[in-house]
Chain A
Amino acid sequence: METKNIMIVGVGGQGTLLASKLLGRLLLGRGYDVKVSEVHGMSQRGGSVVTYVRWGDRVYSPIIDKGQADCILSFELLEAARYTEFLKPGGRVIVNSQQINPMPVVAGMAVYPENLEEKLKALGIEVDALDALALAEEAGSSKAVNLVLMGRLAKYFDFTREEWMEAVEKSVPPKFLEMNRKAFGLGWSA
């Protein structure tokens, strides 16, 4: 099988690493060769962060290059727009419609582009947008945005809900399991 590629992008501190860890674990369980690439360090301080998840019969490169991503799972709207170059023709964007102003916008030195969802669609990209922040808050914490988005991403895979839940259980602290389960469920059915 041809290698499949998902980019998980967002703002440092949003919990993108947990999402990639969870997905990697599930795919490995299916017997695929899997590579997950992260960047730690400085960019985690509120910068733009990217994680690559790749799986197939044999995966070589740990990174996804321009024109290779089947899907971008974006934790923030602007970050989805930043990485469209990496999408394959006909690629999909699953995006949290939440907007987080980067410092140049906050400082008034740059403008956050308007109507990004429509503009992404105009490029021929299939856009699946949801207000993951609102759903996370409904589940009990704004920090559960990552589980809401995993729930939504799950729609595009053929793993059962039980398989996902098992992976969630292995990836989050027991204390927050119930809330994360709820968040995943809200994303799943949103």
Chain B
Amino acid sequence: MKTLMLGNEAFARGLYEAGCCFVSSYPGTPSTEITECAAKYEELYAEWAPNEKVAMEAALGASLAGKRSFCGMKHVGLNVAADPLFTISYTGVNAGLVIGVADDAGMHSSQNEQDSRHYAQAAKIPMLEPADSAEALAFAKLAYELSERFDTAVLIKMCTRVSHSQSVVEPGERVLPEQRKYEKNPAKYIMMPANAKKRHPEVEARTEALRNWAETAGINRIEPGQDSSCGIITSSTCYQYVKEALGDTCPVLKLGMIWPMPERKIRDFAATVQRLVVVEELDGFIETHCRNLGLSVSGKDLFSNIGELSQNLVKEKLGGTVQAGAVLEDAIPARPPVMCAGCPHRSIFYVLKKLKLTVLGDIGCYTLGAVAPLGAIDTTVCMGASVSGLHGFVKAGDEENAGRTVAVIGDSTFIHSGVTGLINIAYNESNATVIILDNSITGMTGHQQNPTTGYNLKGDPCTKIDLESLCHAVGIRRVRVVDPYDMESCETVIKEELAAAEPSVIISRRPCALLKYVKHPGPICVDTEKCRGCKACMNIGCPAISMVDGKATIDTTLCVGCGVCGQLCKFGALG
């Protein structure tokens, strides 16, 4: 029966139908729902791993043990997992292994705009690129066939518009392949130099075999057009923009497999059109390949390598006209994301700003601590970089900076890759102060469990990592726990730990205000007699507070009654 599915949901359906039995991933927008949806199938084991490298290695282990496996991540997660990726290319697989990676052109929810297709070429691993939900489902199944037939992991590259668009799919039945037997094979699975040297030629031969397969594969299809003056090569969501903008005017070569690319098919297609144009988002990946084949081609001279494309862009660049609707003369104020009302991170950032500290930030909801009026964060790079960076900053800093710098990192991010930085702090003895913002959930990606929450992906109770013990175990003697809603004690503890002559960890602990089990006292009231309109409460950037006619006003649909603003009011007007 036809149904609407998100690209990610359809991907998960494809995994299910292909008989995938093991899923290990780390959440990251826009990839998260692949794994969340996979976890809803009871027949399928699914877990959140501490990070993408662990997830990929676990998925390889499951493949070697004989079951079809999967790991999923966002584009920057593939950087974390790049180490196993490049050598899995050499070992190959036993049962099929599929790796899902979701890019985020336009950076809707990411710190960079990298183009993951380069990984396929660099690691010499085939990559499929679905253009809608039906293809996400079909390609997931095809990927397992290719994986087992060509003895390779297979990458499936999603992007925000494919991952987070619902389109029509027709789900099928699950077919469970027989478990493959694990057979000891040191020459294939022990990648020490002597063995790896023998594997490398096989990897190159495999790429050529896959290239031959790609020449006739149905997923690389030519759609004829009425006018051969311009032919388009495209893939992924750009295919949809091309078809929407140009209909059946131009012949189109739609690539479902982006690596390796079919050379003959591309040459043959180019020979049938007067002008060859590649329409692709981000880097000129297909275009470069066409140039390497000696073809004359247009691409990035027309379409930017920055941000997303769209149907209007394609139309305009290829000679059409588009008309936008009317625009108001008024300046429309931006509406950037903000920390939610009641967010336990808000007050900590207020204190850090008040103390005028340098704050090395990390990846999560708390990155919003960088936004005015809090403006408390100095850096955000990648998962874990706050803790590791703090070590270098403290070691290399001058006296003026001593005792004036902290790292802030969330619970999930700390487990992902902050703990290794903390080990470095302890081992190499920098007098660093790390603040773990423990809100008992992976927040930004939409509430995923992690090793510190005591629940697994399926929602069952499980082993809970004790952050205090973990910090002690790696050699941090000073570990303090504070309630971020109590700003006075937060300030005291932060001052004390910065003054201490050894490294310390402060755990700021309070669950995310959006968690269903968190009970709130309910909206506060403003005593308008007492309110002097001093705007002190405005300095915490709470979306529930605004000034109306010179007095603080509370939006009762947003306020949860955390009481943080009341601590800033000298006149006792908020309570």
Contacts and interface: CB of A to CB of B under 8 A. Distances in A.
Contact of A109 (B322, B332, B372, B545): B372
A120 B344 CA distance: 39
B328 A40 contact: no
B101 to A, nearest CB: 16
Interface stretch (B89-97, B138-146, B159-167, B197-205): B159-167
Interface string A73-98: 00000110110111111010000000
Interface stretch (A100-108, A146-154, A155-163, A181-189): A100-108
Contact of B337 (A42, A85, A101, A113): A42
Nearest to A106: B546
Contact of B167 (A35, A46, A65): A35
Interface stretch (B237-245, B409-417, B476-484): B237-245
Contact of A142 (B2, B372, B373, B557): B557
Contact of B335 (A48, A89, A108, A124): A48
Nearest to B167: A35
A104 B334 contact: yes
Contacts of B338: 45-47, 103
6 contacts: A38-B6, A43-B108, A60-B240, A67-B325, A84-B327, A116-B330
6 pairs of A and B residues whose beta carbons are closest in the complex: A41-B109, A41-B29, A62-B165, A47-B337, A110-B333, A102-B335
B106 to A, nearest CB: 9
B334 A102 contact: yes
Given A36-B165, A85-B326, A103-B543, A41 B445 contact: yes
B567 interface: no
Given A35-B167, A45-B338, A63-B310, A82 B332 contact: yes
A112 interface: yes
B312 interface: yes
Nearest to A90: B325
Interface string B185-224: 0000000000000000000000000000000000000000
Q: A36, A46, A88 — which one has the most chain B CB atoms within 10 A of its CB?
A: A46
A6 interface: no
B165 A38 contact: yes
B326 A42 contact: no
Given A41-B445, A107-B372, A34 B330 contact: no
Interface size class of B (residues with CB under 8 A): 35 or more
B332 A45 contact: no
Contacts of B4: 24-25, 28, 34, 36
Contact of B243 (A13, A60, A123, A125): A60
Contact of A44 (B241, B243, B337, B545): B337
Contacts of A119: 328, 330
Contacts of A105: 333, 546
Given A28-B4, A46-B338, 10 more contacts: A24-B4, A25-B4, A35-B165, A38-B166, A40-B446, A41-B109, A60-B244, A65-B312, A67-B324, A85-B324
A86 B543 CA distance: 28
B107 to A, nearest CB: 9
Interface string B229-251: 00000000100110110000000
A32 to B, nearest CB: 9
Chain A contact-residue range equals: 35 or more
Contacts of B165: 35-38, 62
A47 B445 CA distance: 15
A95 to B, nearest CB: 13
B365 interface: yes
Given A65-B322, A107-B372, A78 B335 contact: yes
A46 B336 CA distance: 7
Contacts, number: 193
Interface of B: 2-4, 6, 29-30, 32-33, 108-109, 132, 160-162, 164-168, 237, 240-241, 243-244, 310-312, 322-328, 330-340, 365, 368, 371-373, 444-446, 538, 541, 543, 545-547, 555, 557
Nearest to A76: B335
Given A12-B337, A67-B325, A62 B161 contact: yes
A109 B535 CA distance: 14
A38 B164 contact: yes
A72 B240 CA distance: 22
Contacts of B323: 67, 89
Contact of A61 (B29, B241, B324, B332): B241
B538 A107 contact: yes
Contact of A113 (B6, B108, B330, B339): B330
Given A37-B161, A67-B325, A113-B330, A28 B335 contact: no
Q: Which of B108, B328, B372, B445 has the most CB of A within 10 A?
A: B328
Interface in A12-29: 12-13, 21, 24-25, 28
A102 B322 contact: no
Contacts of A59: 167
Contact of A43 (B109, B333, B372, B543): B109
Nearest to A136: B557
A108 B547 CA distance: 9
A12 to B, nearest CB: 6
B253 to A, nearest CB: 16
Contacts of B108: 39, 41-43
B30 A40 contact: yes
B168 A85 contact: no
Contacts of A66: 312, 322, 324-325
A112 B165 CA distance: 32
B370 to A, nearest CB: 12
A1 B229 CA distance: 28
